[in-house]
Structure 1
């Protein structure tokens, strides 16, 4: 069992190269800060493991192709972050009313906390999926110089059959490949709690996790998903 840790930085500016470096050390965006942790407090204390993928190693599997085939009528758009309009706000509110886990109270809160959204230290892109004129899923990801990290996804639960969260990731990766991004960071998985396991659908065999003891990235293994008991609380947000 490792010594638990939690750190958070509030840089005034953050270059693409600096984001690459911090992601590579197991850090991740929180609002307009960047943080790292070994544990989170939910109903109890859980160990977390930060994930990443080499974009070049990600290949479409049969399950991915099935998702893309059945959602072929959806259109995809990706562009730089814009202040959310009513359509996005309503979609997020609809998503929030249906999920059974703690999620960002709003798009603004998820990306900026209590700060205005007119200035950001991150280079954020937004992705949208539509069926005809209807917005059915959306999300945001940050770009570094050679890395990218997905930050926030939400969708209309009516379209759950199409796995819109996974579709957002697949279409994000298609875009990342087209612009030469090398590494993709989806966040963490939680040992003993399966809510975040969907981040492994790209392939456990190609996933890497950050080992804070050796301070390097190693091949993912299923043992990391086993709950680790922990007797005292750890600071988390």
Structure 2
């Protein structure tokens, strides 16, 4: 699969891993300008890349292979009984909307989420420049899936809309609603949107089994894991 990689690549310096203690992280970064469009990016998603802000990257941390790209097979997705209960509970209390334009109130929700739930991460403390450089993108259409409690915005799922797939970039929500399993609910809403648009995959980023914050994505079945350059159905 490496033969399909662009010729212009960069390798970041090593830095402490954000997910696993006592590990170092490096990123392989796409430098080829022709890749920075929806078609080029979707091809790179198939190779295990994803984006952060305007930049496309994937982990390159040999000999560690803990970060494994994961994607849900939309047509084969079967929600578990637990997931059905969670979405049913959310539907009783909340309303789902969407926007293709980021709204001013998104940042205050993001700030609250990071500062209260991720104050032990490299993203703390949140600031508006970090928010924009992490989530927004100048070259790709983005859909913002919104969750409301009456008129109160309580969650946002930042979602890239591509020709054959959706890519889940990041979800943030009001920590006061954590008992509603908002993270799970928003992934289910992304899968629902993909199904309505006849998309084949929902890319969920990286499954990291040894990281508590990143080991939940394999609960969405049926899915595929990228193992040594091959997508394996689970």
Is 1:80 aligned to 2:100, yes or no? yes
What pairs up with 1:57-206 in 2 under 5 angstroms?
A: 57-72=76-91, 73-82=93-102, 84-85=103-104, 87-100=105-118, 101-102=120-121, 104=123, 105-106=126-127, 109-113=130-134, 120-203=138-221, 206=222
What pairs up with 1:17-28 in 2 under 5 angstroms?
A: 17-28=39-50
Decide whether the 8 Å contact of 2:190 with 2:202 is kept in 1: no
In 2, Cα distance between the equivalents of 1:165 and 1:171? 10
In 2, Cα distance between the equivalents of 1:146 and 1:163? 28
In 1, Cα distance between the equivalents of 2:231 and 2:26? 18
In 1, Cα distance between the equivalents of 2:145 and 2:129? 16
Q: Which structure's relative contact order is higher, taking Cα pairs within 8 Å and 6+ residues apart?
A: 1
Is 1:218 aligned to 2:216, yes or no? no
Match of 2:14 in 1: none
Q: Give the deviation of 1:52 after TM superposition.
A: 1.1
| Residues 131 and 22 of structure 1, relative CA distance in 2, 3 Å threshold | same
In 1, Cα distance between the equivalents of 2:29 and 2:201? 22
Task: Provide the aligned length of Structure 1 versus Structure 2.
Answer: 204
In 1, Cα distance between the equivalents of 2:88 and 2:225? 30
Match of 1:208 in 2: 224
Decide whether the 8 Å contact of 2:28 with 2:60 is kept in 1: no
Decide whether the 8 Å contact of 2:107 with 2:131 is kept in 1: no
Specify every segment of 5 or more residues in structure 2 that has no aligned partner in the other structure, as ranges.
1-24
Match of 1:225 in 2: none
Specify every segment of 5 or more residues in structure 1 that has no aligned partner in the other structure, as ranges.
221-237
What is the TM-score when the length of structure 1 is the normalising length? 0.77
Decide whether the 8 Å contact of 1:15 with 1:144 is kept in 2: no
What is the TM-score when the length of structure 2 is the normalising length? 0.78
Q: Give the deviation of 1:96 after TM superposition.
A: 1.1
